[in-house]
Amino acid sequence: MSSLNLDDFTDLIERPDGGVRRDAEERRERQSVPPGSLGRLDELGEWLAAAQSAVPVRPVEQPRVVLFAGDHGVSELGVSARPAGGAAALVRSVLAGETPAAVLARRLEVPVRVVDMALDCDPAELPAEVAGHRVRRGSGRIDVEDALTAEEAEQALRAGMAVADEEADSGTDLVVLGDVSVGGTTPAATLVAALCGTDASVVTGRGGEPIDDLAWMRKCAVVRDALRRARPVLGDQLELLAAVGGADVAAMTGFLLQCAVRRTPVILDGVVASAAALVAQRVAFRAPDWWLAGHDSGEPAQSKALDRMALDPLLSHGVKVGEGAGALLALPLVQAAAALAAELPERKPEAAETSAAPETTEAPAEG
C-alpha cells in the first residue's frame, strides 16, 4: 500500500501572493514608462513579484536548468528519429557542453543539472551525481505493457520531489525544466490525449528530430494502443504514470508539484515537460500558477496541454531540439522583466506652483 497521498498537494500548494501582485501592479502604474507599453514584460514582472512575495521584484540571480533523462521502450518500434536506447549518449553530450541547451546555458551562465531516471546504460558509465536517483533501466513499452510498476512510479515521483527540495534548499530561484529522452514524446502524447479526451492523431507530432510519414503513422498506432491502456486508470494519476508514462515523466511530475509547494517558479520546455505539468495540474489545480511556458515547440500535444492549463508560451521560434533549449531562450525575457519592474523609476510628482495666483478684490458696490 502506497504511503504517498497525492491529494495532499491540493492543500500544500497555494497560489502566488495576490496581494503582492496588486502592489506590483500599482507600483507599475506609478513608473515613468506608461503601463502596458512594455507588453507582456509587465505581466511577467508582476507574476514574478507575486511568486517571490516581494515588491519591488528581486532579480533572478540563481536560475538552474534541470533535465530529467530516460529511455522509453516504444523507441524500439521506430517512432523516433533517434536510435533506441540512445538517451545516454545525449546526456554525455549535454555534460560535455556540446548540445544547443548546453551552449545556451554556458552563454547565459546558468548551471545545468541532469538527473538519470531510466537511461538504458550501465549507471557506472555516468557521474554519480547524475545516476544517483535512477529508478530502472529504460521504461516499458507502453503500447503492450506498463511503463513502470506502481512502486517504481512512486519512487520516481518521490525522486522528483527530492530534487525540487534540493534545488530550493540550495537557493535556486527559478528552474528551467526539460528532458533528455529517446521516445519521450510518445508517452507525452498519450498522457495529453488521455487527460484531454482526444484521439491519437490529434496529439501525435513528429518529435525533436522530425520523423517521416511512415514513422508518424507507427507513432499514432502506438499512442492509440497506449490510450486503451490509459483510460481505465485516468482517476489515479500515479497509476496513469505507471501505465503510460515513464520514470522521467513521473519524476518531472513530482518535481513540478514540489516546486509549487516550495514556491519555486519554473519555465517549462517542450512537450514532455508540458505533459508532466498536465498530470500535476490534475493532482493540484493551483500548481500551474507557478509555471511559465517557455516556448511553442510545434508539437500538437504541447499546444493541447498548454491550452488546457491556460499557459501562453513566451516564445514561438519553432525550436524542436528539446533538452531545455527553447525554455532557456525565454529565461533572459523573464530576467529582463524583473529588471524593468525593479529598476524603472517612478514618475516625479507634478511640480508645485511656484507662486500663488494674485489675489483680486472686488470693488465695493456704489450705494
124 by Cβ neighbours in 10 Å (0-12 / 13-18 / 19+) ranks as: exposed
Question: In this predicted model, what pLDDT tens digit does every residue of 192-202 receive, in sequence order?
Answer: 999 999 999 99
Mean pLDDT, range 68-94, rounded to an integer: 92
C-alpha–C-alpha distance, residues 9 and 282, integer Å: 11
So what's the pLDDT on residue 1? 43
Q: What is the pLDDT of residue 206?
A: 87
Which residue in the block uniquely carries the three cell numbers 496541454?
Answer: 305
| Residue 347: count of CB within 10 angstroms of its CB | 12
Contact call for residues 337 and 41 (beta carbons, < 8 A): yes
In this predicted structure, what is the pLDDT of residue 62?
97
Give residue-wise pLDDT tens across range 231-276: 999 999 999 999 999 999 999 999 999 999 999 999 999 999 999 9
Position 101 pLDDT exceeds 50: yes
Kindly tell me if the per-residue pLDDT of 89 is higher than 70: yes
DSSP codes of every residue in 129-155 = HHHTT---SSB--TTTS-SS-HHHHHH
Let me know if 323 is a catalytic residue: yes
Bond from prior residue into 187 cis (ω within 30 degrees of 0): no
Please tell me which residue in 109, 125, 323, 366 is annotated as part of the active site.
Answer: 323
Burial of 77 (0-12, 13-18, 19+ CB in 10 A): middle
pLDDT of residue 35: 86
Q: What percent of the chain has pLDDT over 90?
A: 85
> By the 8 A CB rule, do 284 and 35 touch?
no
Q: Which residue has the cell 521516445?
A: 183
Q: Is the predicted pLDDT of residue 114 greater than 60, yes or no?
A: yes
Separation of alpha carbons 245 and 197, rounded Å: 16
Could you report the per-residue pLDDT of 294-304, keeping only the tens digit for each?
A: 999 999 999 99
What confidence tens digit (pLDDT) does each residue in 145-187 have? 999 999 999 999 999 999 999 999 999 999 999 999 999 999 9
Q: What is the pLDDT of residue 59?
A: 95
Mean per-residue pLDDT, 70-93: 92
pLDDT for 365: 52
- Fold (topology level) of 62-333: Rossmann fold (3.40.50)
> Which has more confidence, 241 or 318?
241
Q: Where are the domains of the chain?
A: 62-333
Q: What is the mean pLDDT of the chain?
A: 92
The pLDDT of residue 354 is: 43
* pLDDT given for residue 2 in this prediction: 60
List, for residues 228-243, the tens digit of each pLDDT value.
Answer: 999 999 999 999 999 9
